[in-house]
Amino acid sequence: MFFYYLDEVMAIPPGEESAVDDFSANLLTMLQYNAPYNRYIRQRKDIPFFICGTDSHAKTDVCVIDRNLGILLLVQEDKRHMESKNPEPQLIADAIAAFQSNNLRLHSLGRQPLAQKTIPGITMVGSTPTFYKITVTQNLIDAIQVGEYPGTSTTVHKLLPPVADITELARLGMRPLDNRAVILSCFEAFRQFL
C-alpha cells in the first residue's frame, strides 16, 4: 500500500489537489503515530479559532488526535502547485488554533489550561516532509484574540531531512531508497514529540 501511495503522491495533477493527505495519513498509520489506542488520525479536521475578536476556523490537512489531550500533531500539504501559498504560515496558524482548542478542551474537563505547548507539525511537498516544532504560548493566544502584536517572539524550529543530496530532495522525495531510509528515520524520531 505504501508504494501505491508513493506513486500517487509523486504525480501531482495540474490544478488538482494531490494525494499528499492520503499518503501522509497512511504513512502516520504505518509508523504507528495513532498508538496507543486513544489516538487517531484525521483528515480535514476543522478547528474553531478565535482571532481579532472574531470566530473563525482553521482546517488541518491531516492531524493526530488524542481523545483526552486533543490535537497532538499537524500535517500541512504544500499546495504551491495549485496556488502560490507557502504552507508554513498555514501550519503555524493551525498550531495556534490547536493550542487554543486543546486549552478549551482542558478547561471543559475542569483541568488547568496550559501556559505554553510545543506543537509538532509537518509540511509535505509530495513525499518530502519538513519537520517543525512550534511553541505556542497563552500570551500569543491573548494577543491574537484581540488583534495585537504579541509582546514576545514565537519560536519555530525547522528540520529538513539530512539526505545526501538536499538539492534534489523536493523532486525525488522518498523514491530513492537512501532518501526513504533517512526520511523514515526522521519520522520515527519525530514521534517522541507527540
Nearest Cα neighbor of 43 from 88, 74, 87, 85 is 74
Q: How confident is the model at residue 181 (pLDDT cuts 50, 70, 90)?
A: very high
Output the nine-digit C-alpha cell for 78.
Answer: 504544500
- C-alpha 18: how far from chain center: 17
Domains of the chain (ranges; CATH) run 1-193 (3.90.1570)
pLDDT at 117: 95
pLDDT at 53: 78
pLDDT tens digits, one per residue of 132-178? 999 999 999 989 888 888 888 888 999 999 999 999 998 899 999 99
Measured distance between the N- and C-terminal CA atoms of the chain, rounded to whole angstroms: 25
- Residue 8: pLDDT over 90: no
- Residue 2: pLDDT over 90: no
